């Protein structure tokens, strides 16, 4: 069967298709039903079946390949390299699981993981899955306010953290940020488990903070069985930005996720047991969950966990790892490739990359020059894939594991099996069936296995945010614009909402605005995403100071700009810091008071600002135009 037939079957004979895929994972007891969609849009996949993510990722492989590499940890920040076999990984995960149990963590309890890219972070995720606890990994680049809002929402019993991360050789202390976040949060964890890397000395909260190394010693021989949980039991919460300042907790199940990942490893990522997978993402992002930790391990592959920059010690570091560990599938983001593109291209030719089947790129639009440059440089297929934190695995790509098909530059590919993707008219909800019509990329329910179950603790928000934005229809919106050509290839044209994508990282402009507004001398502010050659987009802020009398010259403005940036950095983290903060006397708004973000964005990008008949004060845009030199 070709891809078209398999795709059709996945939609029209959904249950048969997914029942087959379900055989790729271990079930302790078989599912009673494939998909229960009796309460749309809530889909229950494989209900009644029991399984365990950690079992599928680790224990299942110990028998046949216990002495084969499972987790390959490489840090060019601390010059460490360590290979854990499946047996060793199982032992470490059991130690971590025993520690968590000892700290009172039970099935269904939340454990928040705020860690750099160290092996212990993966142990902690897998240990949670092992005992049925729900992990919530928060990206280490986030600072106190972001972290506090996540602690408050997930109400973790325990937080696992480390003294510090490291970036370009510079130590980034985590503990002070964590302490401040716990202080800000109404919810307090019972315990904080600290992995001490010896990078940054930290204060210990008596009775709360626990030392990982000490507790690990006590549990060296720990045997902690996998807790068999229902397929619908939540495995994790991962927060993502939306159009409000409040992050959304994407809640994922267990069984559907295991099946979706196992199937994607076979049909999309071409992974086989005993091979090596290398994803350059971070465990704080969805790619890190699906394709650093769970996906490759479920497929019985070794996975490389890399802490460091792509250009340190030089721009050949990734390719040297591909050669050394015979990486077969690699996953990265267009931004990273654009960073490499500024370096000496001979690094692409320096190492033996013959093991590599393909380089998969996702997270942001892949522009043609970047795709061409890396495809030619590596001499390996480049496979773009489009998805979201919410879906957990690709919505659009080329499923080369099912049927080899050509890629088209600028397109992530076709709808993936299981995803009933439609283009809809934003205003009428009508389906746009013709070629090359621009519409909202939407997915008919039920979402396939592995996608979000709900927003953590807020079913209503899940329904209202994702399923009710298209008039007259209960359909999932991706909040992306897209078109589809006559061959069924999609092209993504940007977001329909106020979410921006900076270097593959998703940020909500509202969150940044809220942070900037907390500065005592800021009256109001607008943040927009502006096209950037390297990062895809950067955040630009236009703020109205309460008292502008001190901003007499450029130096004073620059000083104030630095102050505002510092606020964002301290509250949200360096990832959210805008590229510039510019000061204006008034913001462009409609007469009803709505910020004209798209007009601001257009002006910043040197485009036409569009229809401005509703603008309150036309001089507002003029000020911005003068500042950005348009
Ligand atoms: P995140 O949830 O952080 O993974 O961000 C998801 C968003 O990133 C999507 O809704 C798109 O706007 C964008 N995105 C992800 N992958 C791609 C891709 N391959 N091409 C274009 N945009 C992408």
Q: Is residue 279 part of a domain?
A: no
pLDDT of residue 65: 97
Q: Is residue 152 part of a domain?
A: no
pLDDT of 292 higher than 90:
yes
Q: What is the mean pLDDT of the chain?
A: 96
CA of 367 to the centre of ligand 1 (A): 13
β-partners of residue 45 are 35
Q: Which pLDDT tens digit goes with each residue over 121-145?
A: 999 999 999 999 999 999 999 999 9
Domain extent, residue 544, equals: 516-628
pLDDT of residue 567: 96
Mean pLDDT across 582-604: 92
Ligand 1, pocket-test mutation among 382, 383, 386, 451, most atoms within 8 A of CB: 386
Mean pLDDT across 187-214: 98
Instruction: Output the residue whose Cα is nearest ligand 1's atom 18.
Output: 386
Percent of the chain with pLDDT over 90: 92
pLDDT of 197 higher than 70:
yes
Residue 431 to residue 423: CA distance in whole angstroms: 6
Q: Is residue 536 part of a domain?
A: yes
pLDDT of 630 higher than 70:
no
Residue 350 to residue 346: CA distance in whole angstroms: 6
Q: Which pLDDT tens digit goes with each residue over 9-18?
A: 999 999 999 9
Residue 544 to residue 422: CA distance in whole angstroms: 41
Atom of ligand 1 nearest to the CA of 390: 2
Instruction: Output the residue whose Cα is nearest ligand 1's atom 10.
Output: 388
pLDDT of residue 128: 99
CA of 363 to the centre of ligand 1 (A): 4
Atom of ligand 1 nearest to the CA of 285: 3
Number of structural domains found in the chain: 1
Contacts of 192 (CB under 8 A, 6+ apart): 158, 159, 160, 161, 178, 182, 205, 208, 209, 210
Q: Which pLDDT tens digit goes with each residue over 29-69?
A: 999 999 999 999 999 999 999 999 999 999 999 999 999 99
Q: Please say whether the dihedral angle defined by the alpha carbons of residues 282, 287, 289 and 295, taken in this order, is positive or negative.
A: negative
Atom of ligand 1 nearest to the CA of 479: 10
Q: Which pLDDT tens digit goes with each residue over 343-352?
A: 999 999 999 9
Residue 242 binned pLDDT confidence (cut-offs 50, 70, 90)? confident
Question: Which parts of 215-369 are beta strand (E)?
Answer: 229-230, 236-240, 248-252, 276-279, 302-307, 327-332, 358-362
pLDDT of 3 higher than 60:
yes
Instruction: Output the residue whose Cα is nearest ligand 1's atom 3.
Output: 506
Q: How far is CA 275 from the centre of its chain?
A: 24
The more confident residue out of 608 and 360 is: 360
Atom of ligand 1 nearest to the CA of 505: 3
Mean pLDDT across 624-629: 92
- Closest to 334 in 3D by CA, of 178, 173, 532, 193: 532
Q: What backbone torsions phi and psi does residue 341 show, to the nearest 5 degrees?
A: -65, -20
| CB-based pocket (< 6 A), ligand 1 | 240, 286, 362-366, 384-389, 412, 478, 480, 492, 495, 501, 506
Helices (H), 464-618: 509-517, 554-571, 597-604
Instruction: Output the residue whose Cα is nearest ligand 1's atom 1.
Output: 388
Instruction: Output the residue whose Cα is nearest ligand 1's atom 6.
Output: 388
Q: Is residue 528 part of a domain?
A: yes
pLDDT of 1 higher than 90:
no
Atom of ligand 1 nearest to the CA of 494: 12
Q: Is residue 204 part of a domain?
A: no
Q: Is residue 619 part of a domain?
A: yes
CA of 386 to the centre of ligand 1 (A): 6
Residue 134 to residue 158: CA distance in whole angstroms: 11
Ligand 1, pocket-test mutation among 388, 397, 536, most atoms within 8 A of CB: 388
Q: Which pLDDT tens digit goes with each residue over 431-486?
A: 999 999 999 999 999 999 999 999 999 999 999 999 999 998 999 999 999 999 99
CA of 427 to the centre of ligand 1 (A): 23
Q: Is residue 538 part of a domain?
A: yes
pLDDT of residue 267: 98
The predicted model scores a pTM of: 0.95
Instruction: Output the residue whose Cα is nearest ligand 1's atom 20.
Output: 365
Residue 392 binned pLDDT confidence (cut-offs 50, 70, 90)? very high
Q: Which pLDDT tens digit goes with each residue over 530-556?
A: 999 999 999 999 999 999 999 999 999
Percent of the chain with pLDDT over 70: 100
Contact status, residue 9 vs residue 419, Cβ threshold 8 Å:
no
DSSP 8-state symbol, 550: T
Q: Are strands 302-307 and 276-279 parallel, antiparallel or unpaired?
A: parallel
Atom of ligand 1 nearest to the CA of 492: 21
Contact status, residue 512 vs residue 578, Cβ threshold 8 Å:
yes
Q: Is residue 288 part of a domain?
A: no
Residue 528: give its domain's CATH number. Answer: 3.30.300.30
Contacts of 158 (CB under 8 A, 6+ apart): 100, 103, 104, 105, 109, 111, 112, 189, 190, 191, 192, 193
């Amino acid at each position: 069967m070709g891809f078209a037939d398999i795709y059709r079957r996945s939609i029209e004979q959904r249950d048969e298709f997914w029942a087959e895929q379900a055989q790729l994972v271990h079930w302790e007891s078989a599912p009673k039903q494939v998909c229960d969609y009796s309460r749309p849009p809530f889909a229950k996949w494989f209900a009644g079946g029991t399984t365990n993510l950690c079992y599928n990722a680790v224990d299942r492989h110990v028998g046949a390949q216990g002495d084969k590499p499972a987790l390959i940890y490489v840090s060019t920040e601390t010059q460490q390299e360590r290979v854990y076999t499946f047996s060793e990984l199982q032992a470490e995960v059991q130690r971590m699981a025993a520690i968590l149990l000892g700290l009172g963590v039970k099935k269904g309890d939340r454990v928040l993981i705020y860690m750099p890219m160290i092996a212990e972070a993966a142990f902690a995720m897998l240990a949670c899955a092992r005992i049925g606890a729900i992990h919530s990994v928060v990206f280490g680049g986030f600072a106190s306010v972001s972290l506090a809002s996540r602690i408050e929402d997930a109400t973790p019993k325990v937080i696992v953290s480390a003294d510090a991360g490291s970036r370009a050789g510079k130590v980034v202390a985590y503990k002070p940020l964590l302490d401040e976040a716990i202080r800000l949060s109404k919810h307090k964890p019972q315990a904080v488990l600290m992995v001490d890397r010896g990078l940054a000395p930290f204060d210990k909260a008596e009775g709360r903070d626990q030392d990982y190394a000490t507790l690990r010693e006590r549990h060296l021989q720990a045997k902690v069985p996998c807790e068999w949980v229902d397929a619908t039991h939540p495995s994790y919460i991962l927060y993502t930005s939306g159009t409000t300042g409040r992050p959304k907790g994407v809640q994922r199940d267990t069984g559907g996720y295991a099946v979706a990942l196992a199937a994607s490893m076979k049909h999309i990522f071409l992974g086989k047991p005993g091979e090596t997978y290398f994803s350059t993402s971070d465990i704080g992002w969805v790619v890190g969950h699906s394709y650093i930790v769970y996906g490759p391990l479920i497929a019985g592959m070794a996975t490389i966990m890399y802490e460091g920059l792509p250009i340190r010690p030089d721009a050949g570091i990734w390719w040297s790892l591909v050669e050394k560990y015979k990486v077969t599938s690699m996953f990265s983001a267009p931004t990273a490739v654009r960073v490499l593109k500024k370096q000496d291209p001979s690094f692409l030719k320096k190492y033996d990359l013959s093991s590599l089947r393909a380089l998969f790129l996702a997270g942001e639009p892949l522009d043609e020059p970047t795709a061409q440059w890396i495809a030619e440089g590596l001499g390996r297929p480049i496979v773009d894939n489009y998805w979201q934190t919410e879906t957990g695995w690709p919505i659009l790509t080329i499923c080369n594991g099912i049927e080899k098909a050509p890629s088209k530059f600028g397109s992530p590919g076709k709808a993936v099996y299981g995803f009933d993707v439609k283009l809809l008219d934003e205003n009428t909800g009508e389906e746009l069936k013709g070629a090359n019509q621009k519409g909202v990329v939407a997915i008919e329910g039920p979402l396939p296995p592995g996608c979000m179950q709900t927003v953590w603790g807020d079913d209503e928000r899940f329904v209202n945010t994702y399923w009710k934005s298209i008039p007259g229809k209960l359909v999932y919106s991706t909040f992306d614009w897209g078109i589809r050509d006559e061959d069924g290839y999609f092209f993504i044209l940007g977001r329909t909402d106020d979410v921006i994508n900076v270097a593959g990282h998703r940020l909500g402009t509202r969150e940044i605005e809220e942070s900037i507004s907390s500065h005592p001398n800021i009256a109001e502010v607008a943040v927009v995403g502006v096209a950037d050659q390297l990062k895809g987009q950067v955040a630009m802020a236009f703020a109205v100071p309460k008292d502008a009398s001190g901003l007499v010259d450029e130096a004073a403005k620059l000083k104030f700009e630095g102050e505002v940036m510092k606020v964002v950095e301290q509250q949200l983290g360096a990832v959210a810091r805008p590229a510039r903060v510019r000061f204006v006397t008034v913001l462009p708004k409609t007469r009803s008071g709505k910020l004209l973000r798209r007009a601001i964005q257009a002006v910043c990008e040197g485009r036409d600002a569009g229809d401005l008949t509703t603008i309150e004060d036309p001089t507002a845009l003029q000020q911005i135009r003068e500042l950005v030199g348009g």
